Structure 1
């Protein structure tokens, strides 16, 4: 696949993940879209799906090889697990953890908040409990 086509597929994949179009995500992955490739703005499809709590799309992207700990964006985004935790998307948090996301990672290159800190700031008790359990299991 040439570079131009790859960029176009990546841009479309990020958009499909943003709007939660699982059928389109599947089709783009079959067409060769890289599940870990960010768009021009640095946004990854996995981050888009995670921050919107679209667990089905998150699972598709993870199964296709998206890295659960790949940071997204240029300062205003972050880790998929942090994005899901910030908004209390507990099922998405569980899917990311099951795929190996590290609950202890800090976003912004290690200087930002952890997923647990995001969940607590948003008063998402169930999400915070899942993250505490995951941190305890990894300790």
Structure 2
């Protein structure tokens, strides 16, 4: 596929995901959109689905080859699991964990926050328990 067409498909896929348009996302994937390719702003489709808590689109993207441990964007964005966790989107968290997301992976190339850091900071007990059930832990903080 030519680079220009691939870029257009990626931009359209992220937009479809942001609008929670499952049918459009499926259609774009069938047309050759790469489930793991970011749009022109650096946002990956999986991050967009995760931050909006769309577990169904998350499942579709994972099945199409999206990497659940790939960071998205620049600055404000990060890992799909952190995005879903910090908003308490439990269904999306479950989908990401089932799709292979590492519950202890930290954002910002390993120097940032892990999903459980977000959930404990925000007081999201049910999401924290989901992450703990998947093996997430918070290291001891030395004073």
TM range (shorter): over 0.9
Runs of at least 4 residues off by over 6 Å: none
Name which one, 1 or 2, has greater alpha-carbon Rg. Answer: 2
Match of residue 84 from structure 1 = 84
Q: How far apart are residue 122 of structure 1 and its match?
A: 1.7
Does residue 31 of structure 1 match 2:31? yes
TM-score (norm 1): 0.96
Aligned residues: 137
Matched ranges for 1:1-139 at <5 A: 1-135=1-135
Distance of 2:19 and 2:124 partners within structure 1: 23
Please list the CA deviations of residues 86-106 of structure 1 after superposition, one character each: whole Å capped at 9, or x if unmatched: 000011001000011000000
**CA-based RMSD:** 1.2
Distance of 1:9 and 1:77 partners within structure 2: 21
Q: How far apart are residue 4 of structure 1 and its match?
A: 0.4
Question: Can you give the 5+ residue segments of structure 1 that lack an aligned partner in the other structure?
Answer: none
Distance of 2:115 and 2:19 partners within structure 1: 23
Distance of 1:2 and 1:41 partners within structure 2: 19
SS of residue paired to 2:134: helix
More helix by share: 1
